[in-house]
Structure 1
Amino acid sequence: MSYLRAILRHNPLLISRTALIVPKRNTGFIVLVPEIGEEDCAAITNNNDLPEFNNFTIEKCISAVGNQGLEVEKSLKNLEKMLTSKTEIKDLFSEVLDPLEKLTTPIENTWGLAKTLYLGNSTLMPTKSYLTIHDRACRVRAAKFNSLPIYNAIKNDNKEYKDEQQKRLIHKYLLEARLNGIEIEGTSKYQLNEALVKLSEIRAKYHNNVEAARRAFMQNCDDQKIIKELPISLLSAMSVDPKAPPKKGPWKLTLQPFIVKSFLEHCPDHNARWNLWQADVRKCSRQSDKQFDNSVFLEEIRYARRQQATILGYENFMHMSMETKMAGSVENVKNTLARLYENARPALETEMANLQTYAEKDGFHKSLEIQDIDYYRRKQLIDLFDFNEEVIREYFPLNKVFKNLLKLSESLFNIKIVERPSANRWHEDVKFYDVFDLSGNAKEPVGGFYVDLYAREVEKTVGLNSGWMVKMRNKSELTNTKPITAIIFNFKQIPDKSVLLSVNEVQQLFSKFGLTLQNLLCNSKYNELSGSSNVEWDAVEIVGNVMSNLLYDEKILKLITTHYSNDDPLPDKYVTAFMKNRRHLAGYNLCRQLYFSELDINFNTTTHFWWDIVKELYPKYHTVPLDKKDSHPCSFTPISSGEWGGAYYSFVWSELIAADVYSAFWEARNTENEENFREVANRFRSTFLTYGGTLNTSEVFRRFRGRDPSPKALIKVLGLETKTEIKK
């Protein structure tokens, strides 16, 4: 069950329902609850009415999936018989693809509902129940894409299609089927299935070890010299008693990512920082508790991926991965990363030299080690730019920021967002909003979204500081289905106090809302192409990143910020600090991302032992030496147990594309003509928000920018063009 959480946390493809399907040894399905009637299923499967959560039960949802799955499989068999007996298909869409869309939409909608409740209210959708629904829906999806008669009908269709969406849908069916091995026969087919099953099992073991190692480490933290430096949010996470006031204690350090990151940023004691850091980077290796050792599993994962790629006819796993990427080729990825490195490395050296000087002036008379960097960068940021995050938080009260985000979106994208208080919800904290398109028929909403922002310790499986945009229902013209999404966060409420957001949390909120707009405003005929569905992996986060970039427009920043107590605007000195924060240690940040990207590439293109790869790459991207016992790849879940193996570069790639998109907004703003800025916003809506997965992202970008993307914008945004010594 913990493995499922890992997959959901790191896998946008499960959220968009476009993941490749791992074969199961047992493909049967047993409904363990009494069957229910079609009338009871209607609240779950209706294309346009909202779910009736007050009448929702786990039994209804599981039974609905069971009934829907059986109906799909029965109809698929009939379709396959028809295709096998026919010598010619006159119209591929009316005879095959359109019926498939109508057939599978209900179970996709039920799956989306179950996923939302799993993340938003696990008392209504416990993990075990969600696993049942998830596995059943996955098998149905596999049946659609792994059908040889359907594949042959599409492959042998010689008709020329001018409709972009039809061409895109055909390409999707053929590619997913090929990557699932539909053209592989005999022994190779068996070997592929065995490799995929083995890969799934090893990744589960790898991830479970990481979770177990995190739980196993626990250390008292009662040094008041340290405690007094820690922010309330960290003390709350460290508190042994979650119901007690954060400052009361007692407190324990664990290896949960938020605690490790925040502690290294705020702990004033070098030895205490080192102790937590070394425990974190050595976990799941032979340098730590051997019962959680992942070093062998890491190599087995790499081997299974090589085997999978080889059987499918690819040079290696990385080359296979490129089939679903905007970048197109490993060579293009490497060249782009190399171009960024040319600017990032000199900046890194300047930044680290300046940080060392700063630390020495602050009384630290040693060479900075990797665990010291986050602490002194935070202090340097305060001294250089007066960037005090705890003070700046006061100008980001959640309720006001979200309200202003809705107003901003209405203004930029010509829409109207209206709360529907009567909508049935899964918790009283949840709100539902209808979205109206003012450029079209504004009488009926084009879709809607739920918002569930607050932490509920018992109910919600969303991790601290994590956020989700969940597609509950995709748009489909064929089935007359309107899209619904859910934005789910886990912001902690304190009684009688406003929830104040960090800069990162505001960026996350903007990002998830951008993805929501993409899914609601996409003009798609087909469920499979709607919104972020079928968007290339390395392009999935582009829209969200563009929305986050808009925060660095001073007019927009001032528009969405206000002090929680008196509505005072964000002072100019904090506006300046906010802008400069982005460029502070930008070379260091980018080099870290480039390091993990190249590590992933090397893991999936070479057979060298993982530690040898680390030793070769680490000095290239770091100025501090590599600790001999640093075993971070043994617990780096995104590229091993998560879905970013062969795709980790996507984080840098999507930032690069988003920066280039945002540069159009920046250029328009510099003309000091508000109409120019709105024209760019309208163009962004008519391309990135409208096309979604109906068109390849390279072409979407060209239609927006009139050219191919370039790294220049990201280099400029991060201030890496001519980075020199930082002066106060």
Structure 2
Amino acid sequence: MALSFFRTHIISRHARKQFYQNKRNSGYVVLIPEIGEDADKNTLLSENGLPEFNEMSIEKCIATISKQSLEYENGVRQIEYSAPNCKNAFVEIFQPLEKLDTLLELTWGMAKTLYLGNSSLMPTKSYIQIHERAHNARSTKFTSIPIFQAAVNEKNRLKKLTDEEQRLLDKYILEGKLNGLDIKGTKRERLNNILTSLQKERQIFREKVNTANKLFTTDIRNAELIRQFPESLVKAMTVGNDPERGPWKMTLQSHIYEPFMQYCPDRNLRWNAWQAHVQRCSNYVSKEIETATNLDNIRSYRMEQANILGYETYADMSMETKMAGSVDNVNYILDSLLDSARSMQDAEIELLQRYAKERGFDSKLEWWDIPYWQRKQKWSLYGFDEEKIREYFPLPRVITSLFNLCSTLFKIEIVERTGQVHTWHKDVKFYDIYDDSSNTPIAGFYLDPYARQDQKIRVYDDAGWHISIRNKCTSMSTLPLSALIFNFQAPAEGKPSLLSFNEVGVLFQRFGHSLRHLLTKANYSEVAGLSNVEWDAAEVCGQVMSHWLYDPHTIRAVSGHYNTDEPLPEDIVKNLQNIRSHMAGFNLSRELYFSKLDIELHSRKDFWRDIVRELWPKYNALPFDKYDSHPLSFTKIFSEEWAAAYYCRLWSKMIAADIYSAFEEARKADQDVLAVGKRYKDTFLAVGGSCHPSEVFRRFRGRDPSPHALLKNLGLPKTKVLEE
């Protein structure tokens, strides 16, 4: 999971061309000319060991990454030469590889950070060069037959291995297998051709969807229609420089479409936007940008790829890198959760229909009505509106409370370092982390909290990024280093940065995620922290931290009016659990539907629309629209890296809910909650990818995971299947 951050959140949404080759493909080398300066003189670190971001230029970064990539590839070749005669692969192969990784990934991590922190200093085109060059260099160790064979030999030779050693060998063996290193002859040639063709089809699919998102527009000139829109949405839609006078333009880009559907009072405009959204890239709209052919080709290539590598389906192949382990296990959990969510969905739709009717809505609720009335119902029931409670979440207070919570739970100290830290913007701060047993820092991270116009990437409802700049590596004596980058409102007019409750959740989630990187105890960077964590367990620690916001004591500590320090209204504190479970059956059913659709599309050869029609009534209370072609714009699974893996976020939520329930159980039984915090730190945060997450969970919980806690948090009943 070493590349999970970028493949998951950035690349596929914002690049106009493919940032990297498929991880499973054989690597190839693209030489980047050294631009401007002599690479030998390019040092990107200051004397204190931290990056010199203020001295970092595009030319210097490209020159350095080019030099380091060449050195990396030469280093891999030298290791390959000695691999057949090695006596100890850990000393003669994997430690030298760790050294190569440490140098390359630091520069690569700095480039990622600058791209997200200030894209005016690191434009997309320049970052594409750096990312491709670094990725292609690093992939050479996973496409190396001598290194692959050395890992196999070492595993056969040694009878006793630590968990970490076992995981390290297994990673190289699995990577080699999925790269087809044990495939020879015409099959190997065919596999390479498939992967090349697959890459092209995925790129075309992405470009067509990006075009479709911008192609549809609706001009709005009536200021009354946008009166209740959030300020951020109004600014995003404004044509010209006057948000108050407009005009405003609606597009299908996610940061506009999603909130527009929640706030637009005009039903005809909502219908127009919805039908354009679900018909994107279909023949109903434009034959030039239809993706049905690309979708079929992608599915076909993936199935053939899996067959060549010895798997029955692509979904089966995907399970090799998942905690779930098998398609049957995934389906069992999805079906069990659906048993609870589907019945609740019917009741929720009925209640929402009644609520809308009481407010003058005489039509039957349709898909384009749900987001709008769902938001209004939440406000009516719980007095909860994201935009109206910002004043109770000033960022300085939230950060202080978050750090205090982590210090208490995990016996760490988070201290801001002042002076001698070079950053990419004056708003960026740097923090050292100290363990209770150490007088020197064990890790460090940058925090860049504020939105900056035209400098930072914006994605609706995903306002935070965590970048692993440097992994822990014992042999190289390197400590973990990361960056947290957000798009929160900047202080203005004497007010501090004020967060919505959702943004507070984003901050907690991203910081909890970063702790797995920062507090790792593993020795090899290849399996330290977030590296090598199975995809469906990668977001677990972030989700665990988010659960603390539903603890009344925590939310009271986090909140307070920025001006008067008045506490968050008690009725909202008490209602937070109800807010989380609002229309939970409907929301969970939708997530389950897309997860199941993804699995089925990568397990069967049936026509995609036939699969949709078969699944739809099982998961959705509202009828299927015959023009609905949503799979044709399902970029997550067809152009990003989430094929047969869309369920992963839901799986992580399930595991996280079960983990957090251990804290709740201790609290209710008057047991030591801090003891649970220590156990969590010693397992999930310390072990990272150096042990299989199923085993890590057993060490923490003493049993296998259960979805009961997730259902309880969402206010959904236990299913009959799970009770049995």
Mark yes or no: TM-score above 0.5: yes
SS in 1 for 2:10: helix
SS in 2 for 1:290: coil
Q: Does 1:349 align with 2:350?
A: no
Q: Does 1:621 align with 2:622?
A: no
1:654 Cα offset (Å): 0.6
SS in 2 for 1:292: coil
Say whether the 8 Å CA contact 1:21–1:138 is kept in structure 2. no
Which runs of structure 2 are paired with 1:473-512 in the superposition (5 Å)? Answer: 473-493=470-490, 495-496=492-493, 497-512=495-510
Q: Does 1:41 align with 2:43?
A: yes
- Measure, in 1, the Cα distance between the counterparts of 2:628 and 2:432: 50
- Measure, in 2, the Cα distance between the counterparts of 1:494 and 1:6: 32
- Measure, in 2, the Cα distance between the counterparts of 1:612 and 1:319: 21
- Bigger mean CA deviation after superposition, 32-41 or 448-457: 32-41
Match of residue 325 from structure 2: 328
Match of residue 233 from structure 2: 234
SS in 1 for 2:389: helix
Provide closer, same or farther for how the CA distance between residues 722 and 267 of structure 1 changes in structure 2, counting only shifts above 3 A.
farther
Match of residue 536 from structure 1: 534
1:35 Cα offset (Å): 5.9
Amino acid at match of 1:292: I
Unpaired segments ≥5 residues, structure 1: 724-728
Match of residue 192 from structure 1: 191
- Measure, in 2, the Cα distance between the counterparts of 1:192 and 1:91: 32
Of 701, 715, 718, which residue of structure 2 is paired with 1:719? 715
Q: Does 1:31 align with 2:27?
A: no
SS in 2 for 1:62: helix
Say whether the 8 Å CA contact 1:213–1:292 is kept in structure 2. yes
1:10 Cα offset (Å): 6.7
Q: Does 1:53 align with 2:56?
A: no
Match of residue 726 from structure 1: none
Amino acid at match of 2:623: P
1:28 Cα offset (Å): 4.2
Listed one character per residue, the Cα deviations across residues 645-698 of structure 1 (whole Å, up to 9, x for unaligned) are 110111111111011011111112223x4x622221221111111111111110
Of 693, 697, 700, which residue of structure 2 is paired with 1:701? 697
Listed one character per residue, the Cα deviations across residues 211-268 of structure 1 (whole Å, up to 9, x for unaligned) are 1111222211123442223222321221223x53x43322111111122111111122
Which runs of structure 2 are paired with 1:593-612 in the superposition (5 Å)? Answer: 593-612=591-610
Listed one character per residue, the Cα deviations across residues 113-142 of structure 1 (whole Å, up to 9, x for unaligned) are 111111111222222221121111112112
1:8 Cα offset (Å): 4.5
Match of residue 220 from structure 1: 219
- Measure, in 2, the Cα distance between the counterparts of 1:57 and 1:385: 50
SS in 2 for 1:145: coil
Of 392, 402, 407, which residue of structure 2 is paired with 1:405? 402
Which runs of structure 2 are paired with 1:117-516 in the superposition (5 Å)? Answer: 117-157=114-154, 158-241=157-240, 243-244=241-242, 246-422=243-419, 423-438=421-436, 440-441=437-438, 443-465=439-461, 466-493=463-490, 495-496=492-493, 497-516=495-514
Of 647, 650, 654, which residue of structure 2 is paired with 1:649? 647
Amino acid at match of 2:565: D
Say whether the 8 Å CA contact 1:464–1:490 is kept in structure 2. no
- Measure, in 1, the Cα distance between the counterparts of 2:553 and 2:9: 36
Match of residue 22 from structure 1: 25
- Measure, in 2, the Cα distance between the counterparts of 1:6 and 1:525: 25
Say whether the 8 Å CA contact 1:385–1:576 is kept in structure 2. no
Q: Does 1:578 align with 2:576?
A: yes
Provide closer, same or farther for how the CA distance between residues 283 and 634 of structure 1 changes in structure 2, counting only shifts above 3 A.
same
- Measure, in 1, the Cα distance between the counterparts of 2:130 and 2:265: 48
RMSD: 2.2
1:403 Cα offset (Å): 2.5
- Bigger mean CA deviation after superposition, 569-578 or 222-231: 222-231
1:549 Cα offset (Å): 1.0
- Bigger mean CA deviation after superposition, 285-294 or 682-691: 285-294
Listed one character per residue, the Cα deviations across residues 502-545 of structure 1 (whole Å, up to 9, x for unaligned) are 22222111111011111110101011111111000000010010
SS in 1 for 2:476: coil
Give the alignment's TM-score, normalised by structure 1.
Answer: 0.93
Listed one character per residue, the Cα deviations across residues 151-200 of structure 1 (whole Å, up to 9, x for unaligned) are 11121221123321111101111111111111111111111111111111
Say whether the 8 Å CA contact 1:319–1:330 is kept in structure 2. yes
Provide closer, same or farther for how the CA distance between residues 389 and 56 of structure 1 changes in structure 2, counting only shifts above 3 A.
closer
Say whether the 8 Å CA contact 1:117–1:124 is kept in structure 2. yes
- Measure, in 2, the Cα distance between the counterparts of 1:18 and 1:294: 21
- Measure, in 2, the Cα distance between the counterparts of 1:5 and 1:169: 22
Match of residue 72 from structure 2: 72
Provide closer, same or farther for how the CA distance between residues 486 and 462 of structure 1 changes in structure 2, counting only shifts above 3 A.
farther
- Measure, in 1, the Cα distance between the counterparts of 2:677 and 2:334: 29
Unpaired segments ≥5 residues, structure 2: 720-724
Amino acid at match of 1:22: N
Say whether the 8 Å CA contact 1:7–1:641 is kept in structure 2. no
SS in 2 for 1:289: coil
Provide closer, same or farther for how the CA distance between residues 548 and 348 of structure 1 changes in structure 2, counting only shifts above 3 A.
same
1:632 Cα offset (Å): 1.1
Amino acid at match of 2:23: L
1:435 Cα offset (Å): 0.7
Listed one character per residue, the Cα deviations across residues 25-73 of structure 1 (whole Å, up to 9, x for unaligned) are x6341424256254533528x9x71111222122221121222122222
SS in 1 for 2:42: helix
- Measure, in 1, the Cα distance between the counterparts of 2:468 and 2:82: 33
- Measure, in 1, the Cα distance between the counterparts of 2:34 and 2:679: 51
- Bigger mean CA deviation after superposition, 71-80 or 619-628: 71-80
- Measure, in 1, the Cα distance between the counterparts of 2:457 and 2:257: 20
1:18 Cα offset (Å): 12
Listed one character per residue, the Cα deviations across residues 555-580 of structure 1 (whole Å, up to 9, x for unaligned) are 11111111122111111111123221
Listed one character per residue, the Cα deviations across residues 589-629 of structure 1 (whole Å, up to 9, x for unaligned) are 11000000000011100011111111111111111111111
Listed one character per residue, the Cα deviations across residues 624-648 of structure 1 (whole Å, up to 9, x for unaligned) are 1111111111112111111111101
Match of residue 682 from structure 2: 686
Amino acid at match of 2:430: F
- Measure, in 2, the Cα distance between the counterparts of 1:20 and 1:643: 9
Q: Does 1:518 align with 2:516?
A: yes
- Bigger mean CA deviation after superposition, 30-39 or 653-662: 30-39
Say whether the 8 Å CA contact 2:512–2:541 is kept in structure 1. yes
SS in 1 for 2:45: helix
SS in 2 for 1:358: helix
Match of residue 656 from structure 2: 658
Which runs of structure 2 are paired with 1:1-16 in the superposition (5 Å)? Answer: 8-9=9-10
- Measure, in 1, the Cα distance between the counterparts of 2:34 and 2:469: 25
Amino acid at match of 1:571: P
- Measure, in 1, the Cα distance between the counterparts of 2:468 and 2:450: 19
Amino acid at match of 2:137: V
Provide closer, same or farther for how the CA distance between residues 6 and 189 of structure 1 changes in structure 2, counting only shifts above 3 A.
same
Amino acid at match of 1:71: E
- Measure, in 2, the Cα distance between the counterparts of 1:78 and 1:389: 57
1:93 Cα offset (Å): 1.0
Listed one character per residue, the Cα deviations across residues 420-470 of structure 1 (whole Å, up to 9, x for unaligned) are 1221101111111111111x21x2111111111212222223435431101
Say whether the 8 Å CA contact 1:18–1:534 is kept in structure 2. no
- Bigger mean CA deviation after superposition, 641-650 or 207-216: 207-216
- Bigger mean CA deviation after superposition, 488-497 or 121-130: 488-497
Say whether the 8 Å CA contact 2:61–2:111 is kept in structure 1. yes
- Measure, in 2, the Cα distance between the counterparts of 1:635 and 1:504: 26
Amino acid at match of 1:61: C
Percent identity between matched residues is 46
Provide closer, same or farther for how the CA distance between residues 10 and 363 of structure 1 changes in structure 2, counting only shifts above 3 A.
farther
Match of residue 633 from structure 1: 631
Say whether the 8 Å CA contact 1:398–1:499 is kept in structure 2. yes
- Measure, in 1, the Cα distance between the counterparts of 2:435 and 2:355: 52
Give the alignment's TM-score, normalised by structure 2.
Answer: 0.94
Say whether the 8 Å CA contact 1:120–1:462 is kept in structure 2. no
Amino acid at match of 2:87: K
What is the aligned residue count?
705
